[in-house]
């Protein structure tokens, strides 16, 4: 199972964009649990990023909500940002 750590920027974005929306908060928790167990699940739409975000990856929390993260090691990832497509890209 993967271990997830949260960057300062992620914590700030989560507090501003997600924390007050109970449905989105619940969906984030469900998708994070799935991510920890099966990162390759089709529900997550996990993919690598290009351009100025090269080296980072993203997965979907809901229709327009994304988590940007980086692989630290085989069993550790760091969440970097969360928000709508326009907010994180």
CATH topology of domain 3-88: YaeB-like fold (3.30.2310)
Question: How far apart, in whole angstroms, are the C-alpha atoms of residue 23 and residue 6?
Answer: 21
For the chain, what is the mean pLDDT? 96
pLDDT tens digits, 17-59: 999 999 999 999 999 999 999 999 999 999 999 999 999 999 9
Domains in the chain: boundaries: 3-88
Tokens of 82: 């969360």
* Lookup result for tokens 């991510």: 35
């Amino acid at each position: 199972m993967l271990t997830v750590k949260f960057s300062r920027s992620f914590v700030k974005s989560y507090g501003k964009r997600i924390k007050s929306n109970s449905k989105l908060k619940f969906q984030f928790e469900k998708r994070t649990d799935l991510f920890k167990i099966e990162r390759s699940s089709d529900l997550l739409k996990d993919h690598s990023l290009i351009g100025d975000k090269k080296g980072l990856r993203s997965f979907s929390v809901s229709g327009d909500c994304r988590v940007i993260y980086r692989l630290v090691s085989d069993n550790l990832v760091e969440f970097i940002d969360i928000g709508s497509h326009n907010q994180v890209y």
